[in-house]
Amino acid sequence: MPRNSALFDLSGRVALVTGSSQGLGFALARGLAEAGAWVVLNGRDPDKLERAAEALRGEGCSIATAVFDVTDSAAVAAAVARIEDEQGPVDILANNAGIHRRAPLADMSEADWRAVIDLNLTGAFLVARAVVPTMLARGRGKIINICSVMSELARPTVGNYTAAKGGLKMLTRSMAVEWAKRGIQANAIAPGYLLTEMTATLAANPEFNQWICGRTPAGRWGRPEELIGAAIFLASSASDYVNGQMLAVDGGLTAAI
Ligand code: GCO
């Protein structure tokens, strides 16, 4: 058991954060890197990813990049093999990649349904399945699935996303029950309404903004960096006996009616 000062130390750990060229993933990557991890950023757009990597390297972070689409299992397998080769086995996986395609369910296209389930849910399974063999072999690993308040609550126009995030919560429990005995902790973080590129149009809508601020006990939107404490906890030895849990970082939103 490490001393308190070492409980949250990620020095020497390799962390892969999917969807990390912007938004929550970028903030998580920065937070894990500042806690000592060697962080592999992932995204689909090589230029955007490189810009994100350069920004973090400029702050003194240890950063590598892996361009791949989390829905493409062959690309995932190839990328993970390369990461293992170059950086070493993945100690920490943050399944963060996510998209929105908002539409009322009655009008939602099959393509928009499938795209969101595929990326937000199936993608997390595919990347976890690719990194878990070396975790199982070494008897340790941390998987952090980025869920949502939409893992618990629904609102109109985001039925595909809500179904995917609800599924991701249960996938987290499935990972925990299958792998806990093997030294792997799988848990989730459920962010509330945080200001990112994905929520910018919502935040800019005065009516929506007022609704969220009124609905959230903290009375405001969250900032991406407010996820970092939870992520470091779930990525570090501090959470070695925590399995299958979803920690809400939502200003109290899911605690309130
Ligand atoms: C929306 C939002 C949400 C959030 C988030 C909340 O359309 O209601 O985009 O889905 O972004 O996931 O946790």
Q: Is the pTM of this model over 0.95?
A: yes
pLDDT of residue 159: 98
Domain limits at 167?
3-255
Q: Is the C-alpha dihedral spanning 213, 97, 167, 186 positive or negative?
A: negative
Question: Which parts of the chain have pLDDT scores under 70?
Answer: 1-2
Give residue-wise pLDDT tens across range 9-49: 999 999 999 999 999 999 999 999 999 999 999 999 999 99
Sign for the CA dihedral angle at 223, 31, 163, 171 comes to negative
**What whole-number distance in Å separates Cα of residue 190 and Cα of residue 182?**
25
Indicate the number of domains in the chain. 1
Question: How far apart are the CA of 148 and the centre of ligand 1, in A?
Answer: 7
Residues 158-196: b if buried by 16+ CB within 10 A, e if exposed: bbbbbbbbbbbbebbbebbeebeeeebbbbbbbbbbbeb
> Helix 110-117 to helix 159-179 angle, to the nearest 10 degrees?
30
Annotated catalytic residue 161? yes
CATH code, 83: 3.40.50.720
Q: Is the CB–ligand 1 distance for residue 191 below 6 Å?
A: yes
Catalytic residue (one of 26, 38, 161, 221): 161
Which residue, judged by its Cα, is nearest atom 12 of ligand 1? 148
